[in-house]
Structure formats: C-alpha cells, structure tokens
Amino acid sequence: MSDARNRSWRELAEAACAEHDPEKLIRIVEELNRTLEEHSDRQEQNHASEAEDVGCDSRTHPSPIYCF
C-alpha cells in the first residue's frame, strides 16, 4: 500500500474503519502499526534527549519524576 506511507496514523485509522476488504484492511492495519511504532520511537528519542539536556541520568535517578 504505497499511498499509505505518506498518511498520518489518524488517516490510516480512519481508512481502517472504512475498509471492508479483509486483505486491504490487513495492509492498512500493518501500516498503521508501523507508523505508530515510528511515532513512539521518535517520542522516546525526544524524551531521552530532553532528559540529557536537563542532566537526568537514569543511573542516579531511576524514576523520570526525579529528573524534572
């Protein structure tokens, strides 16, 4: 599904809700999962870099609550 690669997770979720063909639905849901995983990975990377910016070290502060 090449056109799905440029769509946001919200657009993919809407497309999945509207799709009636099981094979197309599987492809849309797979792409949605990849998109959400990429989004999650970016969020984790941003959080890690923000923690470094404020001097948070997970070895000395095991809980993120103590980092901010």
pLDDT value of position 64: 56
Count Cβ atoms within 10 A of the Cβ of residue 15 and give its class: 0-12 exposed, 13-18 middle, 19 or more buried.
buried
Domain boundaries, the chain: 2-67
Measured CA angle at 64 (ends 68, 33), to 5 deg: 120
pLDDT digit string, tens, across residues 13-60: 999 999 999 999 999 999 999 999 988 888 887 776 766 656 655 555
The pTM for the full model equals 0.59
pLDDT value of position 39: 85
pLDDT value of position 60: 59
Helix (H, G, I), strand (E, B) or coil at 2: helix
Model confidence at 63, in pLDDT bands (50, 70, 90)? low
